[in-house]
A and B are shown apart, each in its own frame.
Chain A
Amino acid sequence: MEVEKLTIKRIHEGLQQKEFKAEEITKAYLERIKSYDRQIGAFLTLDENSALETSRQVDQRIARGSALNILDGVPVAVKDNMCTRGLRTTCASKMLEDFVPPYDATVVEALKHQGGVILGKTNMDEFAMGSSNENSGFHPVRNPWDSSRVPGGSSGGSAAAVSAGFAPMALGSDTGGSIRMPAAFCGLVGVKPTYGRVSRYGLIAFGSSLDQIGPFARTVEDAAYALEGIEGFDPRDSTSAPGRTKEDYAAAMKQGVRGMRIGIPREFFAEGVNPEVRRIVLRGVKSLEDQGAEVEEFTLPITQSGLSAYYMISSAEASSNLGRYDGVRFGYRAGEYKNFEELVVKSRTEAFGKEVKRRIMLGTYVLSSGYYDAYYKKAMLFRQKVRGLFREAFETYDAIVSPTVPMLPFKLGEKTQDPLEMYLADLFTVNVNIAGIPALSMPAGFSESGLPVGIQFMGNHFEESKLFRIAYALEKDLGLDLIPELGGVE
Chain B
Amino acid sequence: MAVYETVIGLEIHVELNTKSKIFCSCSTAFGAEPNVNTCPVCIGLPGVLPVLNEEVVHLAVKAGNALGCEINLINKMDRKNYFYPDLPKAYQISQFDLPICTGGFVEVTAQGEKTRVNLTRIHIEEDAGKLIHLEDEAYTLVDYNRGGVPLIEIVTEPDIRSAEEAVAFLKQLRSILVYSGISDCRMEQGSMRADVNISLRKAGTSVLNTKVEIKNMNSIKEVYKAIKKEESRQLQLYSYGEGHKVVQETRRWDQAKGRTLAMRSKEDAHDYRYFPEPDLPPVRIDREWVLQIRSSLPELPVDRKKRMMAAYGLRETDVDILIEEKMIADFFEATVALSREPRESANWIITEVLRVMKNQEKVPLTPEQLSDLILEVKKGTVSRTAAKEVFEALINQEKSTGALIEGMGLNQISSAQTLEAVIEEVIEEFPQALSDYRAGRTQSFGFLMGQCMKATKGKGNPGIVKAILERKLKE
Contacts and interface: CB of A to CB of B under 8 A. Distances in A.
Interface of A: 81-83, 89, 91, 96, 99, 101-103, 105, 200-205, 207-209, 235-239, 316-317, 319-320, 323-324, 326, 328-330, 340-341, 344, 364, 367-369, 372, 376
Contact of B47 (A105, A209, A323): A105
B408 interface: no
A320 B90 CA distance: 7
8 contacts: A81-B47, A202-B47, A204-B47, A237-B49, A238-B280, A320-B81, A340-B85, A368-B271
A154 to B, nearest CB: 16
B46 A324 contact: yes
In the complex, which range does the number of interface residues on chain B fall in?
A: 20 to 34
A320 B275 contact: yes
B51 interface: yes
Contacts of A91: 46
A330 B47 CA distance: 13
Contact of B46 (A89, A236, A237): A89
Contacts of A83: 45-47
B34 interface: no
Given A323-B91, A326-B90, A340-B83, 5 more contacts: A103-B45, A103-B47, A340-B85, A367-B273, A367-B274
Interface in B81-107: 81, 83-85, 88-91
Nearest to B140: A340
Given A103-B40, A208-B279, A238 B46 contact: no
Contacts of B278: 207-209, 239, 317
B309 interface: no
Interface in B22-65: 40, 43-52
Contacts of A208: 278-279
Contacts of A368: 271, 273
B83 A323 contact: yes
Nearest to B272: A369
B297 to A, nearest CB: 29
Contact of B51 (A101, A209, A235, A316): A235
Nearest to A208: B278
B47 A203 contact: yes
A105 B46 CA distance: 10
A208 B46 CA distance: 12
A460 to B, nearest CB: 20
A99 B85 contact: no
Given A320-B81, A368-B273, A236 B89 contact: no
A96 B275 contact: no
A201 B90 contact: no
A329 B275 contact: no
Contacts of B279: 205, 208, 238-239
Do most interface residues of chain A lie in helix, strand or loop, or is the interface mixed? loop
Nearest to B77: A238
B142 interface: yes
B463 interface: no
A224 B83 CA distance: 43
A375 B404 CA distance: 76
Contacts of B88: 324, 328-329
Contacts of A82: 47
Interface in B71-128: 79, 81, 83-85, 88-91
B281 interface: yes
B273 A328 contact: no
A101 B45 contact: yes
Contacts of B51: 235-236, 238
Contacts of A316: 275
A235 B51 CA distance: 8
Contacts of B52: 238
Instruction: For the complex of A and B, list the 5 residue pairs with the smallest distance between their C-beta atoms, beginning with the closest.
Output: A323-B90, A209-B278, A367-B273, A208-B278, A204-B46
A369 B274 CA distance: 9
Given A208-B279, A209-B278, A376-B275, A320 B91 contact: yes
A316 B276 CA distance: 11
Contacts of B47: 81-83, 89, 101, 103, 105, 201-205
Contacts of B91: 320, 323
Contact of A238 (B40, B274, B281): B281
A207 B85 CA distance: 23
A164 B71 CA distance: 58
B353 to A, nearest CB: 47
A367 B43 contact: no
Nearest to A210: B278
Contacts of A320: 79, 81, 90-91, 273, 275
A328 B142 contact: yes
Nearest to B277: A208
A82 B47 CA distance: 7
Nearest to B82: A323
A101 B49 contact: no
B85 A328 contact: yes
Given A208-B279, A328-B142, A99 B46 contact: yes
A324 B83 CA distance: 8
Interface in B277-305: 278-281
A446 to B, nearest CB: 37
A184 B400 CA distance: 83
Contacts of A200: 49
A205 B277 CA distance: 13
A205 B48 CA distance: 8
A99 B40 CA distance: 13
Nearest to A202: B47
A101 B41 CA distance: 12
B277 to A, nearest CB: 8
A316 B275 CA distance: 9
A16 to B, nearest CB: 35
Contacts of A237: 49
A372 B275 CA distance: 9
A238 B50 contact: yes
Contact of B83 (A89, A96, A105, A326): A326
A103 B48 CA distance: 10
B45 A330 contact: yes
Contact of A324 (B90, B273, B274): B90
